[in-house]
Amino acid sequence: MSLLTIEGVWKHYHGLSVLRGIDLEVAPHEVVCLIGASGSGKSTLLRCVNLLETIDDGAIYLDDTEITDVRADADDVRRRIGMVFQAYNLFPHMTVLDNITLAPRKVHGVRPEKAEARARELLDRFGLADKAGEYPDRLSGGQQQRVAVIRAVATDPRLLLLDEVTSALDPTLVTEVLGVIRELKETGMTMILATHEMGFARDIADTVCFLEGGVLLESGPPEQIFSAPEHPRTRAFLQRVLEARRM
């Protein structure tokens, strides 16, 4: 039984099709990495799953209920899905602690002291215990993004969406964020990541999906996609990535 099912999803922007009939199944505890060039539709797909975008055809199911049904309660769907953005999107007027406890307190009805205890436990686990009272602009990019991940998992979501979470980071800060994601995988968190970090994708993914021009061209276990890709477009893309890294 799959946790998330994406069925023939289409999305158009101003007459341009950015998602062209995407099919994808995600099993519980599975980690799926979406790879592909910028503009291939990775981020749009994640935003559609979180209902931040409406789809133009197809359907998305979470726990076997259709979340793209127009009668579905979007807030109820989002209560079960966490999301981390490329630009962190922390709330600048709140401390780290308030950023993390806002949704547990206001949306999930957790008592403030319980929400705070849980937030401090997570901060401690990810090496940010001393930052609880800081405002986001006093933190490095890597620290901000780790806080954003904690904020997204503090409500114990069924599914975590990560949208190019290391793309805005200095290379030296990328590893600390990837470390957090690796640790989440160990706890059994189901995740979909859009990423440009091929090494990391190969390391952490159970399934890698290659998107190009809004089409899911190829998917499979990382060994297969990275070592023996079947589709010539996948080969060409990986070749370009490899060349770029040698530069």
Partner 1 sequence: MTDGQSAASPGMPEHAESPVWVKSERQRRREADLRGRARRSVSIATASTIVVVVALVAGITSSPGWPRVQETFLSPEAFVAALPDVLRGFLLNIKMFLIAEVFILVLGLLVAVVRGLRAPVFFPLRALAVLYTDVFRGVPTILLIYLVGFGIPALQLQGAPSDPVTLGIIALVLSYGAYVAEVFRAGIESVHPSQRAAARSLALTQGQTMRHVVLPQAVRRVVPPLLNDFVSLQKDTALVSVLGPLEALRQAQIHKDLDFNFTPYLAAALLFILLTVPMARFTDHLAARAARRRTGGGTA
Which residues would be at the binding site for partner 1 (CB under 8 A)?
50, 52, 75-76, 78-79, 81-83, 85, 87, 89-93, 102-103, 106-107, 135, 138, 151-152, 155
- Cα dihedral 29, 46, 41, 175 sign: negative
* Smaller CB separation from partner 1, 18 or 161: 161
Residue 199 CB, shortest distance to partner 1, in Å, is: 27
Residue 148 CB, shortest distance to partner 1, in Å, is: 8
* Smaller CB separation from partner 1, 168 or 241: 168
* Smaller CB separation from partner 1, 122 or 225: 122
Residue 34 CB, shortest distance to partner 1, in Å, is: 17
Residue 85 CB, shortest distance to partner 1, in Å, is: 6
Token output for 88: 């962190």
Give CA separation, 3 vs 7, 29, 136, 146, in Å: 13, 9, 33, 25
* Smaller CB separation from partner 1, 160 or 198: 160
> Could you tell me where the beta strands, DSSP code E, fall in 36-189?
57-62, 65-66, 81-84, 159-163
The residue to which tokens 């490329």 are assigned: 86
Q: What angle do CA 138, 144, 147 make, to 5 degrees?
A: 120
Q: Which of 153, 160, 203, 162 is nearest to 182 (CA)?
A: 203
